[in-house]
Amino acid sequence: MTTNTSSIRLSETLVADARRDAEVFNRTISGQVEHWARLGQAIEAAPGFDLTRVRAALDGRFNADLLSPDERDIFEDLLGEALATPDAGELAYFDQLVNCGGAVGYDAAGRYVRSLPGGAVEVLHEGGADAE
């Protein structure tokens, strides 16, 4: 039997957890991740666990203020994940913004900086976000 596979990126923490559980349950690491994915699919498809309204709220087709407390928890988790993971278009936009100059924010060292045309930066404040 031939199985088609695809590669995906997973966090090191998830892979370490999968490795640990795979040994306990005598599965491969990918088998463990697939097992967890199937469990998640089953839970989301179970009666009383309808994600339709949550998905609609994430797409802007439903007012998130009308979600139940449980739906709101799921909505906020999924929204946080989406915001933490910019897509290629967003990354390209921010690269262009930085290269044109004028973008401001904190760099990896915690300094408040402004981008200059060409990608250089000007330090506006050395103290970082928590300094006065």
pTM of the predicted model as reported, rounded to 2 decimal places? 0.45
Domain boundaries of the chain, sorted by first residue = 12-84, 88-125
CB 125 within 8 A of CB 112: yes
**How many Cβ atoms from other residues are within 10 Å of residue 18's Cβ?**
21
CB 43 within 8 A of CB 51: no
Residue-wise pLDDT tens digits, 22-56: 998 888 999 999 999 888 888 777 766 667 888 88
**How many Cβ atoms from other residues are within 10 Å of residue 68's Cβ?**
11
Banded pLDDT at 16 (limits 50, 70, 90): very high
51 phi, psi to nearest 5 deg: -95, 5
**72: Cβ contacts below 8 Å, ≥ 6 apart:** 64
Residue-wise pLDDT tens digits, 51-110: 788 888 888 888 889 888 888 888 898 888 888 888 888 888 888 888 888 888 888 889
CB 27 within 8 A of CB 35: yes
Residue 128 has pLDDT above 70, yes or no: no
pLDDT of residue 105: 86
Residue 108 CA, chain-centre distance (Å), reads: 19
pLDDT of residue 3: 72
Q: Which helix (H) or strand (E) holds 22?
A: helix 12-25
Reference 124, options 99, 115, 96, 132; nearest CA is 115
**119: Cβ contacts below 8 Å, ≥ 6 apart:** 98, 99
